[in-house]
């Protein structure tokens, strides 16, 4: 279902998004928004994705398996992580 909402720009050039709009975007207090500028004077908003860091992944599975990853497996997993295909956040 498509709906239209009007917002008013303050003298400082700011907008306030109502709670229902933030909930629709999945935005929590303190979270950041990514804004994509589109043609035709349009913007696309979405919740900023937490990318984490490689440090968070190091040692994540230490001691949990007898399997030792090959360099190829490590490389493939690292590439998938940097591409945003997997997440290491705990």
Question: Higher-confidence residue: 68 or 12?
Answer: 12
* pLDDT average, residue stretch 48-73: 73
Q: How far apart are CA 27 and CA 10, in angstroms?
A: 22
Q: How far apart are CA 83 and CA 80, in angstroms?
A: 5
| Residues shown for the chain | 90
Question: Higher-confidence residue: 31 or 88?
Answer: 31
| Residue 14 in this model has a pLDDT that exceeds 50 | yes
The verdict on pTM exceeding 0.75 is no
| Residue 49 in this model has a pLDDT that exceeds 70 | yes
Q: How far apart are CA 47 and CA 34, in angstroms?
A: 6
Question: Higher-confidence residue: 51 or 14?
Answer: 14
- Backbone angle region of 88, left / alpha / beta, with phi > 0 → left and psi within -120 to 50 → alpha: alpha
pLDDT of 56:
67
Tokens at residue 25, please? 């975007």
């Amino acid at each position: 279902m498509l709906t239209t909402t009007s917002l008013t720009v303050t003298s400082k050039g700011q907008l306030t998004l109502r709670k229902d709009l933030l909930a629709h975007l999945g935005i929590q207090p303190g979270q950041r928004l990514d804004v994509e500028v589109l043609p035709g004077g349009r913007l696309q908003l979405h919740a900023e994705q937490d990318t984490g860091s490689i440090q968070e992944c190091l040692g994540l599975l230490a001691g949990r398996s007898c399997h030792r990853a090959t360099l190829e497996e490590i490389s493939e997993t690292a590439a998938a992580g940097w591409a945003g295909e997997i997440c290491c956040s705990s």
